Amino acid sequence: MRLRDFRRWSAGSTVCLVLLGCTAGICLAQVPKSEKPAAKADAKKPSIYDKNDDAKVQLAAASTRAERSNKRVLLMFGGDWCGWCHKLHDLFAQNAEIRRLLSYEYELVMIDTNAPHAPELLEECSKGQTGVAFPFLAVMDAGGKLLVGQKTDPLEQGDHHDPKKVKEFLARWVVEPKDAQVVLQAALSRAASEDKKVFLTFGAPWCGWCHKLEDFLARPEIGVILTRDFVVLKVDVDRMTSGKDVMKKYRPEEPGGIPWFTVLDAKGDKLATSDLLEGQNKNVGYPAEPKEINAFMSMVEGQARRIEPGQIAELRKELEQASEKIVAEMKQRAAEAAKKKERNQSCTACDVNLSG
């Protein structure tokens, strides 16, 4: 039992005070030596929770992403006041193996215990368990079904979380990988039955531009347009069985990285690819720059039959607006990085001056 759990127990037990005839301070002094004080959050640490972020909304968004990518949802209940929460979050970020496992297999959702709908969600995830402390973990499938609620005490070792135990817990609940050959064949069959083509993209969890393309194509307003002519399918070359083999079939060489995409007919024959930038056999990737947007739109228009001119114009407009946001975000991150570097240099100069 942690000290914070002991306090919860002792606060509701007048027996402790009567039998020991002691003050609250003396009662706490009776805690066995094996007990350790609860970790307090460092005031300097950045916030990892948002108490205004609705828990149900977070879960719904994560479930959508998990279903799209064949992942699990990992909920981490706690708060910025919780030192152990910061410790586990730091482990998630700093341990290379755990960071990769989370990135590849989970949609992580940080839920503040004081956020809207957080108490009822926590109650659902910890049903049948007593003495729940924080952080508390819960694994759900993409459909919102609870697979396990996990106290993190068993994952601790001394004053930290044991990386081996945490990794073993996460690895235990990963979803079975899909076979790229199977999902492609299903997409081709659907395309044949609906008289459409397959818009096939290739990406990987570590590829930021792949995520941007996937998110863009998954937007409802974009889907309404593209699905008039295409069955949109993503193959994850790292997580899917035979993913790399499928990409190699359509792309024997890799001149321009990923994301890479191609349009197939219902028989699986290649009709067009993203290696069309300026006629240089260069991969468009995510269409962010004007010339990339032009190339992307040229491919879509060349393969479309049912998409109307107004929808083509709307698709271009959405791409251009998304590009503007991306450029603005990149500029903001660059400015923040420059400020941080300037602060660090200033602090270093102060230290030098003080030491002198």
Q: What digits encode the pLDDT tens for the residues 151-209? A: 999 999 999 999 999 999 999 999 999 999 999 999 999 999 999 999 999 999 999 99
Other CB atoms within 10 Å distance of the CB of residue 235 = 26
253 or 57, greater pLDDT: 57
Mean pLDDT of 105-121: 98
What is the pLDDT at residue 253? 76
Where would I find the H helices in the chain? Answer: 3-11, 14-20, 24-29, 55-69, 83-94, 96-105, 118-125, 163-172, 180-194, 208-218, 220-226, 243-250, 290-303, 309-355
Specify the 3-state DSSP secondary structure of 204: coil
Is-contact 84 134, C-beta < 8 A?
yes
Considering the chain, what is the average pLDDT of its residues?
Answer: 86
pLDDT of 14 above 80: no
Residues, the chain: 356
* pLDDT tens, residue by residue, 256-283: 799 999 999 999 999 999 997 765 668 9
Phi, psi of 75 (to 5 degrees): -95, 135
Using CB atoms within 10 Å of the CB of residue 224, give its burial: 0 to 12 exposed, 13 to 18 middle, 19+ buried: exposed
Residue closest to 288 by CA, chosen among 207, 235, 213: 213
8 A C-beta contact, residue 39 and residue 81: no
* 0.85 surpassed by pTM: no
Is the pLDDT reported for residue 338 higher than 90? no
Cβ atoms of 287 and 293 within 8 Å: the answer is yes
Question: Which residue is it, tokens 């368990």?
Answer: 129
Task: Give residue 129's region: left, alpha or beta (phi > 0; psi -120 to 50).
Answer: beta
Q: Are 174 and 239 within 8 A, CB to CB?
A: no
CA angle 282–268–313, rounded 5-degree value: 55
Domain architecture of the chain: domains with CATH: 1-38 (no CATH), 55-172 (3.40.30.10), 180-320 (3.40.30.10)
Please report which helix (H) or strand (E) contains residue 178, including its range: none
